[in-house]
Structure 1
Amino acid sequence: MDIKTAAALHRLRLASIPEAISFPALLIFGTGFRLAFDYDALVMPLGMIHGLLFITYVVLLLDVWNRTKWPVKRVAFFFLLAILPFGGLYGDRILKREEEAGVIAARARKEGIVNA
């Protein structure tokens, strides 16, 4: 894995945490606020924020898929994590390990320690 691939993984990690929190925090809060106070104006902006975060996550996931050549099952797993509330937090842990391993491997190749 090269440093650009590790950077793509890092960008996906940065997007996964806000996306994971936005679903339960924004949408459920907005819906609860609407039901409790009969005030609909808050739901649409909160839904749009969550939608933008989700679209950003999916675009970054496709970029990582292009760079890493992951199998379709792995990409589908990370997509499923984006749909589940707080699923992106688990995905962040997996991506962090993979990103760190990629950076270590890239540095080792750069220093000539490993010829892979």
Structure 2
Amino acid sequence: MKNLFITKIGRLRIIGYLEGLSLLVLVFIAVPMKYYFENPSLTKTMGPIHGALFLLFIFNTISVGVEQNWKFRNTTWKVILASFIPFGTFYIDKTILSKL
């Protein structure tokens, strides 16, 4: 666990986890509250947080890819593509990032 805070790949994994978690909260809690209970306050809060985490994940992926000399075709594009697929950050963490 301590390695996650020390290395850039570890920090990328944490950001990916937080980005995926924010999407879970947004999709399964905030959006139902907005449409079923007519309370949009959580979507107004979680939307920008999720967007910021998404951008942070993209920028850190590029930074780690450059630092680690990842070939764009082999690793970097897969990690970036996973961030566009809902909950793809969890999958990419399990299949690629945890093994680096």
Point out where structure 1 has 5 or more consecutive residues left out of the alignment: 1-5, 99-116
> What is the match of residue 31 of structure 1?
31
1:87 corresponding residue in structure 2: 88
**TM score, norm. by length of structure 2:** 0.79
Residue 83 (structure 1) shift: 1.9
The AA in structure 2 aligned to 1:81 is A
In the alignment, what sits opposite 2:79?
A: 78
Provide TM-score, normalisation by structure 1: 0.70
State the shift of 1:28 in Å: 4.1
Greater RCO between the two (CA within 8 Å, min separation 6)?
1
The count of residues paired between Structure 1 and Structure 2 equals 93
Give the CA RMSD over aligned residues. Answer: 1.8
- Contact in 2 for aligned 1:21/1:85 (Cα 8 Å): no
- The separation in 2 between residues aligned to 1:40 and 1:7, in whole angstroms, is 37
Matching residue's letter, 1:24: L
1:8, 1:46 → 2: CA distance? Answer: 25
| Residue 21 (str. 1) matches residue 21 (str. 2) | yes
